[in-house]
Amino acid sequence: MKLNVGCGTHKLPGFMNIDANAKVKPDHLSDCRKLEKNFGKDSVEEVRSYHMLEHLCEKDGLIFLEQCFRVLKMGGRLYLELPDLTGVLEEYLASTVRGPCIMKQRIFGMQRNQFDYHLWGYRFFELHCILRNIGFTAIRRIAQPDNEFHAGPLLVVEARK
């Protein structure tokens, strides 16, 4: 089984597309902090999450990442894509007249609904430390995302259980 957690409207074929927002009609309506309860320990080959982690507060983000570790099988892959806090802040500070609004949206979210606020930010070093402390290995930053769905400075990370 493969999970796409926090799918929104970005559904992946071959994955169980999970979201807490019923309006996006996910395959499975679920809280990302309850993956083990819903899917079982050591039951998942891969977990992907595109621009969801920053929508969680720091504590809930840690719970989600711990849940990913629990549900992944040994050798399973975690793929995360989210805004790169360092890059976003650098671009915001260097932005011109039109740019600041777009960059603020990358910092705080689009704020179109209750799920669309950014509550926390990550730099690679911090995320690497969190993942390592949970037990993930082979943690690496990927230069290019596997899609072109999101713009802006991106932090793309892969880790293995």
For the chain, percent helix, then strand, then coil, each to nearest 5? 35, 25, 35
Q: Which residue range(s) make up the domain with 19?
A: 2-160
Write out pLDDT tens, residues 48-84. 999 999 999 999 999 999 999 999 999 999 999 999 9
Rounding to the nearest 10 degrees, give the CA dihedral for residues 23, 27, 32, 37. Answer: 130
Length, in residues, of the chain: 161
Categorize the per-residue pLDDT at 159 as very low, low, confident or very high, splitting at 50, 70 and 90.
very high
Least Cα distance to 42 among 64, 70, 77 occurs for 70
Distances in Å between the alpha carbon of 30 and those of 14, 56, 111? 18, 14, 21
3-class SS of residue 124? helix
Instruction: Give the CATH number for residue 118.
Output: 3.40.50.150
Number of domains in the chain: 1
Rounded CA-CA distance 21/6 in Å is 9
